[in-house]
């Protein structure tokens, strides 16, 4: 277990250091999500309910995550690092978990800017939204890392990844919106937690097959 966690930490640290040096993914995510919120703010008619704004927030967060996932395995594929990782990792699922941890970190940075902007433009951010976003990050990273690895091998990865990811992201939007606007957010938060658990197990179990094919 210690060796496995060491591999995960090393892989996550590698992604974070690469991002600090290149600054390719996080600035693009920040620019996109803030621009989307600004557009939503001016596009919504006056008097539009908070429910509509909340739904648009989740759409913006989902597409922001997709922007980061599109580039998740680009460096490994373009520089031939993936083959080395597959040979070096004691357990190939450590590659999936390390990448998922780095994706969660990128999402947290983007949301640290997006949520205050949402509070400024629309309504104050409550604990329900924060809890839903935290659970959504886990689900996005779990399933998105697997699908990003699958799409990275294709020349049409920019087209393939949205086709694979967005249908699986619909439950995240449903749970996130429900947790924020429902009178009993606990049911939707439990739904998001169940989604995270199921797709984390499926992604962990199938990643071995994805990276070796």
What DSSP string runs through 117-157? HHHHHT----HHHHHHHHHHHHHHHHHHHHHHHHHHTSTTH
In the chain, the number of structural domains is: 1
pLDDT for position 149: 83
Q: Report percent pLDDT > 90 for the chain.
A: 41
170's enclosing H/E stretch is helix 157-181
Choose the weakest-confidence range: 42-51, 52-61, 101-110, 135-144. Answer: 42-51
pLDDT tens, position by position, 30-73: 999 999 988 888 887 765 666 777 888 899 999 999 988 888 77
pLDDT(21) > 70:
yes
Are 136 and 192 spatial neighbours (Cβ–Cβ below 8 Å)? yes
Mean pLDDT of the region 123-141: 92
Query: Is residue 104 pLDDT above 80, yes or no?
Result: yes
Q: Give the structural domain span for 91.
A: 2-212
Other residues' Cβ atoms within 10 Å of the Cβ of residue 96: 27
H-assigned helices in 23-154? 25-43, 50-70, 74-78, 81-88, 93-121, 127-152
């Amino acid at each position: 277990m210690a060796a496995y966690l060491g591999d995960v930490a090393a892989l996550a640290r590698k992604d974070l250091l690469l991002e600090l040096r290149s600054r390719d993914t996080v600035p693009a995510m920040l620019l996109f999500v803030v621009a989307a919120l600004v557009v939503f703010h001016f596009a919504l008619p006056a008097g539009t309910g908070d429910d509509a704004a909340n739904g648009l927030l989740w759409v913006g967060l989902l597409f922001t995550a997709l922007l980061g996932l599109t580039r998740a395995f680009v460096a490994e594929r373009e520089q031939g690092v993936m083959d080395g990782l597959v040979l070096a990792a004691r357990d190939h699922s450590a590659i999936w978990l390390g990448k998922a941890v780095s994706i969660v970190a990128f999402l947290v940075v983007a949301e640290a800017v997006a949520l205050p902007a949402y509070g400024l433009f629309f309504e104050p951010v409550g604990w329900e939204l924060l809890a839903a976003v935290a659970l959504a990050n886990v689900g996005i990273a779990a399933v998105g890392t697997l699908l990003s690895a699958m799409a990275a091998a294709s020349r049409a990865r920019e087209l393939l990844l949205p086709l694979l990811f967005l249908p699986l992201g619909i439950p995240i939007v449903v749970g996130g919106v429900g947790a924020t606007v429902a009178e009993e957010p606990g049911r939707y938060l439990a739904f998001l937690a169940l989604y995270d658990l199921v797709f984390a197990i499926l992604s962990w179990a199938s990643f071995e097959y994805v990276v070796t094919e």
